[in-house]
Amino acid sequence: MGVPAETMEGERRVALTPAVVPALAKLGATVLVESGAGVASGFTDAAYEDKGARIGTRDEVLAAPVLVCVRVLSGDAKSPDLAKLHAGQVVVGMAAPFADPAVAAALAEAGVTLHSLELVPRTTRAQSMDVLSSQANISGFKAVIMAATALPKVFPLMTTAAGTMAPARVFVVGAGVAGLSAIATARRLGAVVEAYDVRDAAKEEVKSLGAKFVEFDLDTGQEAGGSGAYATKMSDEQIAKQRELMTKVVARSDVVITTAQVQGSTAPVLVTEDMVKAMAPGSVVVDLAAEQGGNVEPSKPGETVDVNGVQVIGPVNVPSQAPNHASLMYGKNVANFLALIIKDGAVAPDPEDDIVNQSAVSKGGRIVNDRVQSALGAGEGVTS
């Protein structure tokens, strides 16, 4: 299996780390890593070789029967790498199948079998392969560090000879994996933390981390689902009521961190520009959904926007800011997935395996995922 160096701008992760090479060898696989692929994550070519991997050129890696990526085709359906792939090849990685279905269509036309890891079901059995959760943990942690760095205050309560400084007030919107990580990090730094999620089940998780759960009566019907469940899209009326009720909480906060994303859809705008303007100058907003359209009306992906003295940060590819640990977790997720499709040195997935089937996007020259096919439009990207 080949592990190419990632070429998307700002991407510092690597799909497999030296730590998982021995486990893949037990499956009968030889791991071929492009020279320098792991350097940005802190993994040298020598570290891979010490674990039994081979180092090769990009062309050699791209020709491997199984190709393992962080970002499939670097997120570009017109990538020059596409011409080097071949029919029957298996590609495993994050392909953003709903946001950019053209990548999946290009691989289908090339006859490549694509497994998009974003589609791995969030079930107990698949937990060890859930790349969205492992990377969201990093994002939640980093969001708090960004906010703490930008905020002109310290997070913890401090009693000194010069007086007492009140703790920062942090409001986290969305208590999924990223949100819970943000809550835990902000609490460790000593902030007073409030959090909100449309899912009733998130209440106990928020409280268990020492934060206050803010309750709004929206009648969303989203009683079920823990931190691993996907939130579903709310109606326009529910979003409007949520904004109204949320305004007071946002205004009294020093830091607001938003994490609400809906798979296969644009992120809902939960914090309007007027809500940001109601915050005190010097406050900070971090929008972890900026790449998906943004939860915060004035946020822009990859930029920090000043709104009446409030810094609105729209970070992109946050896990890549901690590439070593992000790669270690991602690589373990991928290795666990590969164990489902590789037997005795050959690609031999169980045709009845729900994890394999639900993650499959293209196979045999056609798109096999109905939702991706809908995103493309009927009849597109299905020829072999």
Q: Give the span between the Cα atoms of 62 and 65, in whole angstroms.
A: 8
* 71 tagged catalytic: no
Give yes or no for a contact between 261 and 292, defined as CB atoms under 8 angstroms apart. yes
Is-contact 292 231, C-beta < 8 A?
Answer: no
Q: Are 285 and 312 in contact (CB under 8 A)?
A: yes
362 is catalytic: no
The verdict on whether 130 is a catalytic residue reads yes
Cα separation of 167 and 154, whole Å? Answer: 7
Burial 338-370 (b: 16+ CB within 10 A, else e): bbbbbeeeebebeeeeebbbbbbbbbebebbbe
Alpha-helix residue ranges (DSSP H) falling in the chain: 21-26, 45-50, 58-62, 101-109, 131-150, 177-188, 202-208, 236-251, 273-277, 323-341, 354-359, 370-376
230 is catalytic: yes
Q: Point out the catalytic residue in the list 130, 197, 254, 287.
A: 130
Of 230, 274, 354, 374, which one is the catalytic site residue? 230
Query: Catalytic residue among 58, 122, 187, 252, which?
Result: 122
Give how far Cα 40 sits from Cα of 19, 73, 168, 247, 318, Å: 16, 19, 34, 41, 15
Task: Report yes or no: 155 and 186 within 8 Å, Cβ to Cβ.
Answer: yes
Catalytic (active site) residue 127: yes
Q: Which of 127, 128, 222, 321 is catalytic?
A: 127
Catalytic residue (choose from 133, 139, 253, 362): 133
Catalytically annotated residues: 122, 127, 130, 133, 230
